[in-house]
């Protein structure tokens, strides 16, 4: 499911010399931030967005960041690797993983590099542009780069591989290394900036009163002027979610399911396990071998425990059942032609009178996703989770499908829900390993 991508570890840039007066050891910072963005159409672009100015309130706590705008507050919990998006009008929030942003940036950077390569090879419009700007927008790198500096009207101009990206005047407020790193991380998460530029800024151990970043997107360029004011040592040591409540009225059906899972996800109780065992035993007693087999699969996906081996008597029933044989052949299929035939088989099996329709829908959704039909798979996953909201394996599979469609925020919400229900489920090892990869290759986000 996941492919390892190349990563270039960035050395921290160290500068000698004093910049301002001695720096107080701030435990936390708060300040106002104005971001004025001017757009300029590219030679191959058309109708860029109108220029805009946005105002933010920023808090940099010891282990959290908070950035508030007119209608929203985003809290980045660095200790627990969570992100809380608070809608100020409704007083509600959504809990996300910090991993989703980094995962998206890695995949998006690879996607843009592939598209850029294809454009160059095809020699078609719009022309490709330097990948440094993709790295600047996403705050991650894909190759070794060279940072160069020059001076212009008393300000430092930072360029990466010859592309001017930042214009940083002298002055500002001296801070300690920890607070400088938090300022860098806030920029990385909320606004972007090339890792070499952000590392150079953090090495100065100051919060500048103002600076400019230059970005390029498809069709236009941007000049962002950042102005910092009212900087003070007054941020709370921790954030407080008590004035807000978890979101409960999402319009999107997947969000509704994920919000409910966020509130209710928990490992199965002993009574739940016993109910499954009783149902499986009754299905075998009634000679409903196919229902029994699907029940065994469902119990494994709910509990995270390996599927129990059937007794010799149960094996006889399973081997003799034509629906079980058709199902087993379908899920062993390989290659596009076999998988398309397997999908047709699963659809036929769903028409049968079984007590486990939602389990067949889960396997059909998985096959659709494997064949590239994520749009067709997602409604099936939703139907499965409506039938059994405790089906941890379905959250894993739906998360995989969402990941394929670049919906990283929902992918991680789905995986997180499933892991709270069945942390020992074998299928989640790939997600856990991928998160460890992100931690190793992109520690600057965590």
pLDDT, position 115:
77
Which residues does 105 contact at the CB level (< 8 Å), separation at least 6? 138, 139, 140
Residue closest to 443 by CA, chosen among 43, 76, 102:
102
Query: pTM for this structure?
Result: 0.88
Residue closest to 290 by CA, chosen among 246, 245, 348, 248:
348
Residue closest to 414 by CA, chosen among 196, 188, 261:
261
pLDDT, position 291:
95
367 in Cβ contact with 337 (< 8 Å): no
**CA–CA dist 97, 381 (Å, integer):** 21
What is the DSSP annotation of 424-440?
A: T-GGGHHHHHHHHHHHH
Q: What are the 10-residue block averages of pLDDT along the chain, 446 residues in total?
A: 37 34 58 96 76 97 95 97 97 97 94 78 66 94 94 95 96 93 96 97 95 90 96 89 90 93 94 96 96 96 94 96 95 91 93 88 95 96 97 98 96 98 96 97 92
Which residues does 9 contact at the CB level (< 8 Å), separation at least 6? 441
Residue whose pair of structure tokens reads 């979610």 in the numeric block? 241
pLDDT, position 48:
81
To the nearest 10°, the Cα dihedral for 192, 196, 198, 199? 150
Q: How far apart are the first and last CA of the chain?
A: 23
């Amino acid at each position: 499911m996941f492919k390892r991508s190349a990563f270039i570890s960035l050395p921290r840039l160290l500068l000698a010399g004093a910049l301002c007066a001695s720096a107080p050891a701030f435990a936390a910072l708060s300040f106002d931030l104005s971001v004025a963005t001017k757009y300029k159409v590219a030679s191959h672009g058309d109708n860029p967005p109108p220029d805009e100015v946005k105002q933010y309130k920023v808090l940099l706590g010891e282990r959290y960041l908070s950035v508030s705008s007119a209608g929203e507050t985003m809290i980045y919990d660095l200790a627990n690797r969570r992100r809380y998006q608070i809608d100020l009008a409704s007083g509600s929030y959504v809990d996300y993983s910090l991993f989703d942003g980094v995962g998206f940036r890695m995949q998006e950077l690879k996607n843009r590099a592939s598209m850029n390569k294809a454009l160059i090879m095809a020699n078609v419009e719009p022309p490709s542009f330097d990948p440094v700007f993709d790295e600047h927008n996403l705050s991650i790198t894909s190759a070794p780069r060279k940072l160069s500096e020059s001076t212009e009207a008393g300000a430092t101009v930072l360029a990466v591989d010859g592309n001017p990206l930042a214009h940083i005047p002298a002055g500002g407020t001296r801070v300690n290394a920890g607070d400088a790193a938090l300022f860098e991380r806030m920029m990385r998460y909320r606004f972007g900036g090339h890792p070499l530029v952000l590392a150079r800024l953090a090495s100065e151990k100051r919060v500048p009163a103002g600076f400019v970043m230059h970005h390029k997107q498809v069709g236009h360029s941007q000049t962002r002027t950042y102005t910092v004011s009212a900087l003070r040592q007054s941020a709370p040591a921790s954030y407080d979610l008590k004035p807000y409540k978890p979101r409960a009225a999402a319009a999107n059906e997947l969000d509704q399911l994920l919000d409910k899972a966020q509130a209710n996800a928990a490992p199965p109780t002993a009574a739940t396990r016993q109910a499954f065992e009783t149902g499986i035993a009754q299905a075998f007693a009634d000679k409903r071998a196919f229902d029994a087999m699907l029940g065994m699969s469902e119990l494994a996906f709910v509990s995270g425990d390996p599927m129990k081996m059937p007794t010799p008597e149960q094996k006889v029933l399973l081997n003799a059942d034509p629906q079980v044989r058709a199902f087993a052949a379908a899920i062993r299929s390989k290659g596009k032609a076999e998988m398309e035939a397997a999908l047709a088989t699963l659809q036929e099996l769903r028409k049968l009178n079984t007590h486990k329709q939602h389990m067949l829908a889960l396997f059909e959704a998985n096959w659709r996703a494997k064949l590239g039909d994520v749009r067709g798979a997602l409604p099936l996953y939703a139907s499965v989770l409506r039938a059994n909201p405790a089906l941890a394996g379905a959250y894993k599979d739906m998360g995989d499908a969402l990941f394929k469609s670049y919906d990283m925020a929902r992918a991680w919400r789905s995986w997180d829900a499933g892991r709270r229900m069945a942390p020992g489920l074998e299928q989640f090892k790939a997600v856990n390993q991928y998160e460890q990869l992100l931690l190793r290759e992109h520690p600057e986000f965590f």
